[in-house]
Amino acid sequence: MNLHDLTLAQTARALADKQFSSREVTQHYLDRIARLDKTYNSFITVTAEQALAEADAADARRAAGNAAFLTGVPFAHKDIFCTQGVRTSCGSRMLDNFISPYDATVVAKYREQGLVMLGKTNMDEFAMGSSNETSWYGPVKNPWDTGCVPGGSSGGSAACVAARLAPGATATDTGGSIRQPAALCGITGLKPTYGRVSRWGMIAFASSLDQAGPMARTAEDVALLLGAMAGFDPKDSTSLDRDVPDYAAALGNELAGLKIGVPKEYFGAGLNPQTAERVQAALREYEKLGARLVEISLPHSHLAVPAYYVIAPAECSANLSRFDGVRYGYRCENPQDLMDLYCRSRAEGFGEEVKRRILVGAYALSAGFYDAYYRKAQQVRRLIQQDFVEAFKEVDVIMGPTSPSPAFAFGAKGSDPVAMYLEDIYTIATNLAGLPGMSLPCGLVDNKPVGLQVIGNYFDEARMLNVAHRYQQVTDWHAQAPAGVMA
């Protein structure tokens, strides 16, 4: 068996059993990245020299007997997390030359555990996109079909895991940016409850929606990565002070009596019929495992996309105002005066989608329109949240499709921003409500993956991971790989 055949958990166990060293497995993945990522473009920066140094340090920790379970396991960071001494670009020309002077909390936690960073993954610019076509560094290609998108904004993280260039990766989710690319690339990804993982050092898009989470091949891998990144952080005012359970220890519990809510609104117009069939087949599999399906209603779910595309651009317009060409980041050449510096630096440094959202957000927050748009969107957000509160009085988890269809071709939706925004129609509501959500592979349509979305109650990630793990014990969709990547 090749080293890249191993899941993240299997890699950790093999390291503990001294079947190979961290340097050996790290070099193996670096060689694969050098050989294969010209095709996928999943990495912006590869930190080969640093990775090998971290691997040697991990091997020394294991030899000294003070290693954590994940010490020495290679992985990749989405290029939205500040990493000391390494470029942190956020997929934008604006930050192409930015070398972070500090580590984000998620980065620091992984360093403490002794994980080995292979590099920084490609992403939609400032996490704005659903296809990974807005990156300054070019689009990421889906390993299942290189003519199709991998999803976004965490498309680089999803693609590198699917192509077996890393056993796991960090990612972020503002409106579906972990779950949708996980679905399109046939891997497992989880967005935790808002506040479960620190946002400090994670470059902000929409502060009330952004949340970091892990991506990997299996629910077990995701459980391990989540346990390493979760926890209270006094540097983040939105971080919640709650104990972090041992997510991996909760795996394998029986599902007898589990009540699964199936929203009728998630199976209407706009859902690809074959995608619906794969999701329904997964639900039937859960019935065999002892779960009971309960039809529920989320009556305000159709308002999630319009509410999100007022709230998120409004927050983005405020967060991105700091990128002005003065302190750090891109600066235009030969500005005539301060106003010219501001205008040209932002015009040249930001891409079209980022500019579009800044303009929409500034309009929604402007005098005379705040009450009509932003305040109204926040009121709708409360109604969406209340729908979930009522639903969870009746059910334990909610399931449905992650994305309306499998991966689509490059350029298919580029000229229609609204069509692109509707790719997140099933995922956005959980961000508005602050709930945890995850996606796991549940089938193929035209040899492209389909994702099953699992939504849990607040801080119920352990139950969600167990629910996903039990499904993966009786199916093999998570173990299937794109043609050619296992060589």
Position 415 in a domain: no
Domain span including residue 184: 3-258+460-479
Q: Report the relative pairing of strands 211-216 and 168-173 from DSSP bridges.
A: antiparallel
Report the 10 Å Cβ neighbour count for 367: 6
pTM of the complete model: 0.96
Residues 6+ away with beta carbon under 8 Å from 318: 361, 365
Residues 6+ away with beta carbon under 8 Å from 37: 43, 46, 160, 163, 165
* Mean pLDDT in residue range 273-292: 97
Length of the chain (residues): 487
What backbone torsions phi and psi does residue 261 show, to the nearest 5 degrees?
-85, 130
Distance CA 295, CA 299 (A): 13
pLDDT tens digit sequence for 188-245: 999 999 999 999 999 999 999 999 999 999 999 999 999 999 999 999 999 999 999 9
Going by pLDDT thresholds of 50, 70 and 90, the confidence category of residue 413 is confident
Position 425 in a domain: no
- pLDDT of 416 over the 80 cut: no
Name the token pair of 266. Answer: 């998630």
- pLDDT of 36 over the 80 cut: yes
Structural domain tally of the chain?
1
Position 135 in a domain: yes
Position 11 in a domain: yes
Cβ-based burial of 293 (10 A; exposed 0-12, middle 13-18, buried ≥19): middle
Position 264 in a domain: no
487 vs 184, which has greater pLDDT? 184
Position 289 in a domain: no
In the chain, % helix, strand, coil (3-state, to 5) comes to 45, 15, 40
Segments of 163-296 assigned E as strands: 168-173, 188-191, 211-216, 259-263, 292-296
- pLDDT of 183 over the 90 cut: yes
Distance CA 149, CA 378 (A): 31
31-60 burial: b if 16+ Cβ within 10 Å, else e: ebbeebbeebbbbbbbbbebbbebbbbbbe
The phi-psi region of residue 440 (left if phi > 0; otherwise alpha if psi is between -120 and 50; otherwise beta) is: beta
Cβ-based burial of 407 (10 A; exposed 0-12, middle 13-18, buried ≥19): buried
Task: Show the CA angle centred on residue 452, arms to residues 163 and 305, nearest 5°.
Answer: 100
- pLDDT of 486 over the 80 cut: no
Distance CA 345, CA 89 (A): 16
Name the token pair of 193. Answer: 């409850």
Cβ–Cβ under 8 Å, residues 56 and 24: no
Cβ–Cβ under 8 Å, residues 240 and 196: yes
Cβ–Cβ under 8 Å, residues 92 and 349: yes
pLDDT over 90 percentage in the chain: 93
Cβ–Cβ under 8 Å, residues 354 and 320: yes
473 vs 484, which has greater pLDDT? 473
Query: Residue 48 has what pLDDT?
Result: 98
Positions marked catalytic: 78, 153, 177
Q: Whole-number mean pLDDT of the chain?
A: 96
In the sheet with 292-296, reading across from the earlier edge strand, the strands are 43-46, 116-121, 74-78, 168-173, 211-216, 188-191, 437-445, 448-456, 397-401, 259-263, 292-296
Cβ–Cβ under 8 Å, residues 178 and 72: no
Query: Residue 369 has what pLDDT?
Result: 87
The CATH number assigned to the domain holding 238 equals: 3.90.1300.10
* Mean pLDDT in residue range 325-350: 94
* Packing angle of the helix pair 48-64, 22-40 (nearest 10 deg): 150
Position 154 in a domain: yes
Position 151 in a domain: yes
Alpha-carbon distances of 346 from 125, 297, 340, 365, 392, rounded to whole Å: 14, 44, 10, 19, 44
Query: Residue 268 has what pLDDT?
Result: 87
Helix and strand totals (H; E) in the chain: 15, 11
Cβ–Cβ under 8 Å, residues 420 and 456: no
pLDDT tens digit sequence for 63-95: 999 999 999 999 999 999 999 999 999 999 999
Cβ–Cβ under 8 Å, residues 48 and 58: no
